[in-house]
Structure formats: structure tokens, C-alpha cells
Amino acid sequence: MTKTWFVTGASSGLGRMMTEKLLDRGDRVIGAARRTDALSDLASAHADRLPVVTLDMIDKAAVRAAIDQAFERAGRIDVVVSNAGYGLFGAAEELGDEQIDRQLATNLTGSIQLIRASLPHLRAQGGGRIVQVSSEGGQIAYPGFSLYHASKWGIEGFVEAVAQEVGPFGIDFIIAEPGPTGTNFGAALDRAEPSGIYEKTPAGEVRRLIAGGEFVIRGDAANTVDALIEAADLDHPPFRLALGSTAYENIRGALTKRLEALEAQRDIAFSADRRKN
């Protein structure tokens, strides 16, 4: 059975590849992007199955209008894919206020508003699925990506709460957590002006790895999208979906260390309870 999808960030990276693959298998996609001209070739080839809407995730009113129009046009949308976003690199004190505001407005607030705008429509149609594209960076952290991680950890917490709120309405979520993947993520990075202060720190080392093209990337974009679509087709998909061996290993390692640290402080934690009379 064919499905209808709404995909943000459909003009490049994983969003573009997902759009192509969904169209190739016969599904309908409403593609949302800031630069719709980047989708003109696909729109021409699939005019009847790829309506395109202009959407800047920073514009709250535009987000609501785009979702309202998409549901009105399609009648039913089976899967909403919140994929739009980008990376911001720099030690925390090197980042500019405008860079910080834009990062959070796009990756975090924009995704929140997209989900909020979708919920009334999904409830009205009796259910549906939302795929929030996060990152391994929603569970771990690299030096130099503090604000990117703030946006991803933040949206994962938001989704975890909302999923419990709307589950009774037949609405479920997938949080996709890709590791480093062969897309244009690195080329599209917003970067702070280096101050030199962090040159001999972990943040400086990561900067050198990125600049030298030495940051290890195991993830394949096509395989990542295939795995995500396959999961989204399941009746009962995993709530969190690690994508790529790097994501799996890094997330597993971080969770194991966190659990070990928590267990080591059990006595301290329990000592904070009220004393029984």
C-alpha cells in the first residue's frame, strides 16, 4: 500500500535521498525545503507525487501554515519526517549569540513547532507516525558541538514526553540517531571563528580532524535511508533507532558508562530520601 510522507529538509542530504527512494517505490511525498529550486528536477519527474513547499523552520507561522496546507492537500499524511537541521561547530565561548539562536531555532524550536502543528491533524485522521531525525549526538557529545548537542538532546527529551501524551491517539514516534554519515553535513557546518584559546584542547583536535578530512565516517547515506524507511514501515518500530556502527558503539558505550556511574552512587541517591519515622 502506498503512503504519503511529509519530509522537511528534502532538498539535500538524507532528506533528499529519502524523498528519491520513496518516490521510486511509488509513494507520495510532500517535500519541504528553504530552497525549493533544489527539488525542481524531482518535481518535474514526479509532478503528480511531489508537491513542494517552501519552508524555513525558524518561521513558526510558516511551519504551521505548511503543515495545515499539506494535510488539506493530501487528505491524509501517514508519516511526518522532521529532518531539517544543520550543525554548528566551535567551542562554546567562541560561538556568537546569533549563531546560537539560529541553531536552537532551527534544530530544536523548529522541530518542536513542526511536531505540535502536526498533532491535531494526526489525531483527526486517527493516528500516524512522526520520524524525528536526531543523531548519535542526541545521546553522546563531541567537544566543539555543544549547541548542536543541546538541540539534539533537547528534541529527544521533548519527543520522549510527547510520545507518551499522544500514544492513546494512535500517534507514535521514531527517533532516528545516525552516526557520522557520508552526506553534506560537514560542508554545511556553521563554524565559529577560532580564538586560538582551544587550539591544544579536545575541541581544537576535533577542529583539525574536520579541517583535514580525517574525521572517520563509516555511515553510508543510502543504507542509512533504507534502514530508516524499513523501520518506518514496521507496525511496531523501535522508538530509538541507532543508524550505523559508529552510532551503535558510541551510544552503547555512553549508556554503559552512565549506568555504571549511576549504580555506583545508589547509596548516595537513596540517602536523599525522607527518613521514615
pLDDT digits (tens, 9 = 90+) for 74-90: 999 999 999 999 999 99
What DSSP string runs through 225-271? HHHHHHHHHSSS--SEEEESHHHHHHHHHHHHHHHHHHHHTHHHHHH
Catalytic residue among 11, 12, 152, 198: 152
- The strand pair at 240-243 and 190-191 is best described as unpaired
Q: Is the pLDDT reported for residue 247 higher than 90?
A: yes
Percentage of the chain beyond pLDDT 70 is: 99
pTM of the model: 0.94
Domain locations in the chain? 4-271
Question: For residue 189, what are the contacts with CB-CB under 8 A and spacing of at least 6?
Answer: 86, 87, 88, 89, 210
Tell me the three cell numbers of residue 62: 510558516
Higher local confidence (pLDDT), 183 or 13: 13
Tell me the three cell numbers of residue 3: 503512503
CA distance 64 to 105: 15
The Cα-based distances of 254 to 90, 179, 206 in angstroms read 22, 14, 19
152 catalytic residue (yes or no): yes
pLDDT digits (tens, 9 = 90+) for 128-159: 999 999 999 999 999 999 999 999 999 999 99
148 catalytic residue (yes or no): yes
Instruction: Give the pLDDT band (50/70/90) at residue 46.
Output: confident
Give the distance, in angstroms, between the CA of residue 89 and the centroid of all CA atoms in the same chain.
Answer: 17
Tell me the three cell numbers of residue 138: 542526541
Catalytic residue among 118, 148, 151, 198: 148
CA distance 271 to 130: 41
11 catalytic residue (yes or no): no
How many residues would you count in the chain?
A: 277
CATH topology of domain 4-271: Rossmann fold (3.40.50)
Tell the residue number behind the cell numbers 508519516, with chain if given.
79
Tell me the three cell numbers of residue 196: 586560538
Catalytic residue among 134, 135, 146, 151: 134
